[in-house]
Amino acid sequence: MKIPKSIKIGPQRYTIVERLNDFDGALNDGSYGYTIEASNIIVLRSDIPITKKQVVLLHEIFHAIRMVNDAFPKPKKDDDYEDWEHYFIALWDNNLLAVLKENPELTEWLTNDFL
């Protein structure tokens, strides 16, 4: 099973690219992946184990969800824990579910037990 070449996040389509850290300076700092908001690209280090790649891709999807849906009003600095907790949960609940539903190939790849 191959990693999807692109995924839909909200109204945006993100391309998924795998690169070796030898050819990508942004991966030379020990990073396993990153997201480029301006060009809708998620980059994954190609030489890591596939089960780690699943976690890294999900991590980068969270970044992309936040970038696409950065319109949520933030609580004030002194607001209580529950206000902040609900703010962070609201960033992800509907959005992550939509990503998983709109990208069945991604969902299958992320939940595959490659062991």
- Better-predicted residue by pLDDT, 86 or 6: 6
Contact of 3 with 53, CB cutoff 8 Å:
yes
Residue at 1 is within a domain: no
pLDDT in tens, 97-107: 999 999 999 99
- Give the domain range for residue 68: 6-111
Rounded to the nearest angstrom, the gap between the alpha carbon of residue 98 and the centroid of all alpha carbons in its chain is 13
pLDDT in tens, 43-89: 999 999 999 999 999 999 999 998 887 766 789 999 999 989 988 88
Residue at 103 is within a domain: yes
Residue at 63 is within a domain: yes
Structure confidence at residue 97 (pLDDT): 92
Q: Total structural domains in the chain?
A: 1
Residue at 18 is within a domain: yes
The distance between the two most distant Cα atoms of the chain, rounded to a whole number of Å, is: 47
Q: How far apart are CA 48 and CA 62, in angstroms?
A: 20
Record the pTM: 0.85
